[in-house]
């Protein structure tokens, strides 16, 4: 094919372009004008323009544009990526509309973020009219060929989509790879595991490609075969270090296996490549918090809030998470100016929650609870009580009472405000309720196990680790010392208490019974009254208890 | 007196490049419309100016790419790309100049797709074409085909061909010897070779070769992407 041919092709299309409607968005007027003229030069008569993200959303609400050419940089806070995500969430884009992000950016983090939002086309500045014409034409040809399939995807009619994709692939159609990628989603949605596995493995035999490896990993995740998912994902990342969704998925797999430190490491890698993704930063904040790493959690939570502003991803969770993390980490900040700034940030987050989501009663409730926890963490017990009373008032007026998913948050707040018994009662009844979801049960039981600050948790965890080291080296005295110090920080932790008991028993087995040690073992067991039959340490607790009863004549 | 660097340099480069690209965008557009709207003026001059803009755009991408290569940070992000589309996109950017100079470009190849980083490869192809433009008599031939070793993409001109010492210098360059004599030509070639080499598949790496074409006697660059 020679060059004059494709020019002729572009010219033919001017009649096709005539009836189309286009929107151009760019922060700079001269840029808008030039792109608009380029489009008009191609025969598109109706070209609107706007400078802001809000302008794009409003315009798309008022009119269906066939083409949106949107720069990454816009006025008014929202960027092009956020606009695209919002248009999709609000379903203001038809599957056959073409959304092109235009940008002069070079920074890898920005470009990666744009790519993750999957615009139909990414056009890097500068470009000539001829280049724009080529890209548009290509999009039209593709959209025309795939419009039925794209519509089925938008309507989530996978059973109808699957045969169409399969047919296109069998006929060696031009968009066979596009079809294969979309088949992965369709098969996953339809639960067609065998077909999915066959599709991916056949492809991998020819060439290792990211989507096929990811397909196998997603299947393993769906089947809860986490070790398998981990090994496929590790391979994916090794071969295709830019496949960012593999990192997110791997972190999820590690998390499901309880390997939180590895989950944090992999999220850290992902953030290095593409930091400007709300859900990734939020995930990082949660994982690092669970790992007892308030510094990382704070940074990730601050980013979450920042990325949420002007975006559809913004949620009251982001702000409440930040308040809780500040409450946890402020104690470790030595510099008084920094500390003041941090506390002010939490105050700011609380007022934004009210401003942005104040019409929602459950959000109001959560805000008062967070406020109470925050005051309690700073030793302001009177203020903590006041906020708690406000929360109780709101809760009592809620239709249907306190929503179940807020019980843990409520219990934690009661505990921090000093109402410990009530907190335990409410959390224990949640754990024992058949209707509670496993995730909530776990959260409640984790809190009952260790209702202490993150810093103390992390310290106790490391002492426990050292104790276990001593134990495996049969240095029981040293182990007992570490466990005991850890128990001072975290007295209710089942694993820790049982490690202590078990080590004492080992030592006494070798050196004979000691009454003070027996007494301390009994105390440890008694501290674990909150451990119910559903708890993963319950069996071990019972075994050690029986051993004490049998060999040391104690009563419970 | 020593001082702490005040700015993260990579971000300085990135911000500056963004500005340059925005400016070039405007200059390119103004020229495009001037060429379209003006009769009877020296069109040659406009085409030359456009060529300089494309060159500058290319050098900016190259400079940033080589900066990343030097820090081992350049990452290839391959996705399925129709090779003909890549070639046509690159040519579209040079359209006015090719017409003006009366250079005939032929493209030979099937409508195949390949896994490659289309953004980086567009810059590579642009470098190869800009070089060919400089040396060609009146023809440039772009060929591509799938071979058992990978995608072979060649740019061939019908000029006088490269002298032996340049071909030797190219071989030295791609075999990894340090570059003593930094010129825009060898940095361009280095960029091409690095980008192609970063494309891998099942343990095989991409590679480039510069030689003189048997048929035309002009220069020929071969790029093999596994």
The three-state secondary structure class of A157 is coil
pLDDT tens for residues A337-370?
Answer: 988 999 999 999 999 999 999 889 999 999 999 9
Identify which of A322, A245, A258 has the alpha carbon closest to the alpha carbon of residue A287: A258
Q: Output the CA torsion B78→B80→B85→B87 (10° steps).
A: 40
Please tell me the predicted confidence (pLDDT) of residue B184.
Answer: 79
Which token pair is B35?
């060429």
Confidence of residue A98 (pLDDT cuts 50, 70, 90): very high
Higher-confidence position of B178 and B161: B161
Q: Which chain B residues have a beta carbon less than 8 Å from that of A242?
A: 75-77
pLDDT higher than 80, residue B180? no
Does residue B7 belong to the interface with chain A, where contact is any CB pair within 8 Å?
Answer: no
Region A72-98 average pLDDT: 90
Sheet with B139-147, strands from edge to edge, namely B104-108, B139-147, B150-157, B219-225, B207-212
Region A55-78 average pLDDT: 93
A126 preceded by cis ω (within 30°)? yes
Region A267-277 average pLDDT: 90
**Cβ contact (<8 Å) for A138 and B85?**
yes
**Residue B138 gets which letter from DSSP?**
S
CA distance A526 to A546: 13
pLDDT mean across residues, chain B? 88
Domain boundaries, chain B: 9-70, 79-225
Region A135-158 average pLDDT: 91
Please tell me the predicted confidence (pLDDT) of residue A54.
Answer: 92
Smallest Cβ distance to A2: which of B21, B22, B107? B107
Long-range contact set of residues A391-396: C-beta below 8 Å, sequence gap at least 24: A391/A365, A394/A361, A394/A364, A394/A365, A394/A368, A395/A365
Look at the domain B79-225 and name its fold: Heat Shock Protein 90 (3.30.565)
Taking the CA of residue A150 and the nearest CA in chain B, the distance in Å comes to: 19
Identify which of B69, B59, B66 has the alpha carbon closest to the alpha carbon of residue B123: B59
CA distance A125 to A463: 56
- Name the B residues in 47-76 with CB < 8 Å from any A CB: 53, 57, 64, 73, 75-76
pLDDT tens for residues A108-138?
Answer: 778 888 888 889 999 988 888 888 988 998 8
Report the percent of chain A where pLDDT is more than 90: 65
Q: Which chain A residues have a beta carbon less than 8 Å from that of B75?
A: 108, 241-242
Region A74-89 average pLDDT: 89
Confidence of residue B208 (pLDDT cuts 50, 70, 90): very high
- Name the B residues in 9-48 with CB < 8 Å from any A CB: 11, 13-14, 17-19, 21-22, 24-30, 32-33, 36
Contact (Cβ atoms closer than 8 angstroms) between residue A329 and residue A298:
yes
- Report the chain A residue with the minimal C-alpha distance to residue B203: A239
CA distance A314 to A520: 50
pLDDT higher than 60, residue A9? no
pLDDT mean across residues, chain A? 90
- Report the chain B residue with the minimal C-alpha distance to residue A115: B77
Please tell me the predicted confidence (pLDDT) of residue A6.
Answer: 40
Smallest Cβ distance to A37: which of B27, B33, B92? B33
Confidence of residue A5 (pLDDT cuts 50, 70, 90): very low
**Cβ contact (<8 Å) for A177 and B14?**
no
Please tell me the predicted confidence (pLDDT) of residue A1.
Answer: 38
Confidence of residue A2 (pLDDT cuts 50, 70, 90): very low
**Residue B82 gets which letter from DSSP?**
E
Please tell me the predicted confidence (pLDDT) of residue A134.
Answer: 87
Report the percent of chain A where pLDDT is more than 70: 97
Confidence of residue B3 (pLDDT cuts 50, 70, 90): low
Please tell me the predicted confidence (pLDDT) of residue A12.
Answer: 52
Q: Which chain A residues have a beta carbon less than 8 Å from that of B22?
A: 28, 31, 104, 125
CA distance B225 to B223: 6
CA distance B131 to B129: 5
- Number of other residues whose CB lies within 10 A of the CB of residue A170: 10
Smallest Cβ distance to B106: which of A2, A106, A115? A2
pLDDT higher than 70, residue A263? yes
Please tell me the predicted confidence (pLDDT) of residue A13.
Answer: 57
pLDDT higher than 70, residue A7? no
> Which of A2-6, A505-509, B169-173 is predicted with the least confidence, judged by mean pLDDT?
A2-6
Please tell me the predicted confidence (pLDDT) of residue B2.
Answer: 52
pLDDT tens for residues A443-462?
Answer: 898 899 988 887 788 889 88
Find the DSSP H helices in A155-243: 158-170, 176-190, 193-206, 210-222, 226-239
Please tell me the predicted confidence (pLDDT) of residue A290.
Answer: 85
Which token pair is A485?
């110090």
Q: Which chain B residues have a beta carbon less than 8 Å from that of A106?
A: 13-14, 17-18, 21, 64
Domains of chain A: 3-144 (3.40.50.2300), 315-449 (1.25.40), 454-552 (1.25.40.10)
pLDDT tens for residues B96-150?
Answer: 778 878 899 999 998 888 989 998 999 999 999 999 998 999 999 999 999 999 9
* A/B interface, count of CB pairs below 8 Å: 99
Q: Which chain A residues have a beta carbon less than 8 Å from that of B93?
A: 127-128, 130-131
Please tell me the predicted confidence (pLDDT) of residue B40.
Answer: 67
Distance between start and end Cα atoms, chain B: 51
Strand partners, B81: B114
Region B183-200 average pLDDT: 90
Mapped to the 3 state alphabet, what secondary structure does A337-358 carry?
HHHHHHHHHHHHHHHHHHHHHC
Please tell me the predicted confidence (pLDDT) of residue A77.
Answer: 80
Does residue B89 belong to the interface with chain A, where contact is any CB pair within 8 Å?
Answer: yes
Identify which of B145, B19, B34, B158 has the alpha carbon closest to the alpha carbon of residue B96: B34
**Cβ contact (<8 Å) for A128 and B201?**
no
């Amino acid at each position: 094919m020679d060059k004059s041919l494709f020019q002729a092709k572009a010219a033919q299309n001017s009649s096709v372009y005539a009836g189309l409607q286009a929107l151009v968005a760019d922060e700079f007027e001269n840029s808008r004008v030039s792109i608009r003229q380029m489009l008009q030069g191609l025969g598109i008569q109706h070209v609107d323009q706007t400078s802001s993200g809000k302008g794009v959303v409003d315009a798309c609400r008022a009119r269906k544009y066939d083409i949106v050419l949107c720069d990454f940089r816009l006025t008014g806070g929202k960027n092009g990526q956020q606009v695209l995500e919002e248009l999709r969430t609000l379903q203001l884009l038809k599957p056959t509309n073409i959304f092109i992000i235009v940008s002069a950016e070079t920074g890898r983090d920005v470009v990666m973020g744009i790519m993750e939002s999957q615009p139909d086309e990414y056009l890097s500045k500068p470009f000539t009219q001829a280049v724009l014409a080529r890209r548009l034409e290509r999009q039209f040809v593709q959209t025309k060929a795939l419009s039925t399939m794209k519509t089925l995807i938008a309507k989530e009619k996978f059973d109808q989509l699957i045969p169409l994709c399969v047919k296109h692939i069998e006929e060696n159609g031009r968009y066979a790879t596009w079809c294969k990628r979309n088949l992965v989603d369709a098969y996953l949605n339809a639960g067609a595991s065998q077909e999915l596995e066959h599709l991916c493995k056949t492809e991998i035999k020819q060439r290792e490609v990211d989507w096929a490896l990811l397909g196998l990993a997603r299947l393993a995740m769906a089947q809860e075969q986490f070790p398998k998912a981990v090994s496929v994902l590790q391979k994916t990342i090794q071969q295709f270090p830019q496949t960012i969704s593999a990192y997110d998925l791997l972190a999820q797999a590690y998390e499901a296996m309880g390997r939180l430190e590895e989950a944090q490491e992999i999220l850290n890698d992902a953030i290095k490549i593409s930091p400007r993704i709300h859900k990734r930063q939020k995930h990082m904040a949660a994982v690092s918090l669970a790992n007892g790493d308030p510094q990382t959690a704070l940074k990730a939570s601050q980013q979450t809030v920042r990325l949420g502003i002007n975006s559809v991803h913004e949620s009251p969770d982001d702000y409440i998470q930040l308040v809780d993390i500040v409450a946890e980490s402020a104690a470790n900040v030595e510099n008084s100016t920094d500390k003041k700034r941090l506390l002010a940030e939490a105050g700011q987050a609380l007022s934004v929650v009210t401003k942005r989501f104040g019409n929602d009663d459950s959000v109001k409730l959560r805000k008062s609870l967070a406020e109470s926890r925050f005051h309690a963490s700073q030793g302001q017990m009177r203020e903590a009580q006041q906020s708690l009373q406000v929360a109780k008032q709101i809760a009592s007026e809620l239709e249907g009472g306190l929503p179940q998913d807020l019980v843990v948050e409520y219990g934690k707040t009661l505990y921090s405000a000093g109402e410990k018994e009530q907190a335990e009662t409410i959390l224990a009844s949640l754990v024992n309720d058949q209707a509670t979801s496993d995730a909530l049960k776990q959260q409640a039981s984790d809190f009952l196990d260790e209702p202490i600050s993150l810093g103390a948790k992390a310290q106790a965890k490391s002492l426990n680790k050292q104790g276990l080291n001593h134990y495996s080296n049969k240095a029981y005295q040293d182990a007992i010392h570490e466990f005991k110090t850890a128990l001072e920080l975290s007295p209710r932790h089942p694993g820790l208490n049982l490690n202590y008991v078990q080590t004492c028993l080992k030592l006494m087995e070798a050196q004979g019974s000691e009454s003070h040690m027996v007494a301390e073992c009994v105390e440890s067991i008694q501290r674990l009254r909150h451990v119910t039959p559903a708890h993963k340490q319950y069996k071990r607790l019972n075994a050690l208890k029986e051993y004490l009863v049998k060999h040391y004549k104690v009563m419970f | 007196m020593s001082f702490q660097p005040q700015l993260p340099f990579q971000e300085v480069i990135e911000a500056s490049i963004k500005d340059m690209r925005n400016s070039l965008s405007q200059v390119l557009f103004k020229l495009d419309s001037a060429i379209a709207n003006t009769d009877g003026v020296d069109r040659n001059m406009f085409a030359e100016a456009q060529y300089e803009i494309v060159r500058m755009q290319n050098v900016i991408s190259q400079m940033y790419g080589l900066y990343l290569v030097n820090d081992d940070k350049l990452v290839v992000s391959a996705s399925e790309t129709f090779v003909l589309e890549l070639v046509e996109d690159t040519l579209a950017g040079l359209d006015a100049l090719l017409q003006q100079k009366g250079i005939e470009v032929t493209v030979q190849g099937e409508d195949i797709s390949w896994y490659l980083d289309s953004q980086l490869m567009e810059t590579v192809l642009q470098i190869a074409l800009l070089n060919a433009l400089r040396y060609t008599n009146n023809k440039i031939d772009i060929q591509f085909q799938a071979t058992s070793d990978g995608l072979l993409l060649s740019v061939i001109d019908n000029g006088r061909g490269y002298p032996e010492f340049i071909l030797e210098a190219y071989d030295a360059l791609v075999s990894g010897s340090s570059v003593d004599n930094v010129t825009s030509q060898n940095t361009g070639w280095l960029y091409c070779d690095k980008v192609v080499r970063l494309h891998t598949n099942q343990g095989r790496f991409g590679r480039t070769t510069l030689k003189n074409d048997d048929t035309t006697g002009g220069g020929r660059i071969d790029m093999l992407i596994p």
